[in-house]
Amino acid sequence: MPEAPVTRLAAAIETLVRAHKTAAPAPRGLAYLGLEGASGTGFHLLDALAARGIFRKYEFVLDVGAGLGGTSRWLAARLGCEVVGTAASRAEAEAGASLTRRAGLSAQVRLVPADAATLPFRAAHFTHVWLLEALPRLPDPRAALREAHRVLRRGGTVAIQDLVRPDAARAADIPGWMPATAAERVAALERLGFVEVALRDRTAEAPERSAQVLAARDRLLARLRRDPRCAQLVREREALAAALAGGALRVVQIVARRP
């Protein structure tokens, strides 16, 4: 069976970062320089998103749509909490788990293949639920938010970083992505019963600031372009970059509490 593109992506990231470490250490919390994410938005945004929730070592976070686990590892390394991240497939979960082992975070981070619309966790299981640029990639975002409400403990925080359309009439042409507007996301949370819903537009602050990370992303994209099996991943990353640069997508953060 040929390797899944996501497995090829994980291998490319691991190889590139291993070579990079000989020249300079990775930033704290970014064992793989944040290369796992498709959009390229800076991980510095997550510090502000985490400020709303109270994080201690005994906090238990669900990272929905974690992919290869970059955000899950960031949460564990920076905030000390335990994290379960959901992946879209077994191949993605296994590739992410391999990266997690190499980062020395297997005791805190577990990646599992799971449908965000039917999460395999009991009700009120997590203290926090994070959805980081995951909703536009999911077949049923409303069901995913409903499940987030179900598995979140009373008083717990849901934190969302989303790539949204600036208005309902303007669409972004990104393979496999269906962005909503910020107003639609807020309305969905309120209908589910979340309270203290707060929205902040972070578009101006979103671009990655680290020259080290930007250079690594360029090298990764060049490597992926040389691999025909990664053509779809390349198209996705290029389309997201163009949409963010051209204003067809904005970056927002939304936090809310389950009463």
Enumerate domains of the chain plus CATH numbers: 5-257 (3.40.50.150)
Which residues, in sequence order, are bridge partners of residue 64?
131
227-251 average pLDDT score: 94
Average confidence (pLDDT) over 159-186: 89
pLDDT band at residue 54 under the 50/70/90 scheme: low
The mean pLDDT value of the chain amounts to 92
Q: What percent of the chain has pLDDT over 70?
A: 95
Worst-scoring range by mean pLDDT, 169-183, 201-215, 231-245?
169-183
Smallest CA-to-CA distance from 80 within 39, 127, 124, 41 is with: 127
Q: How far apart are CA 93 and CA 113, in angstroms?
A: 6
Q: How confident is the model over 209-229, as pLDDT tens digits?
A: 888 899 999 999 999 999 999
Cα separation, 210 vs 157, in Å, equals 29
Mean pLDDT value of segment 142-152? 98
What DSSP character marks residue 248? S
The structure tokens 């992946």 sit at: 87
Q: What is the pLDDT of residue 19?
A: 82
DSSP 88: S
> Global pTM?
0.94
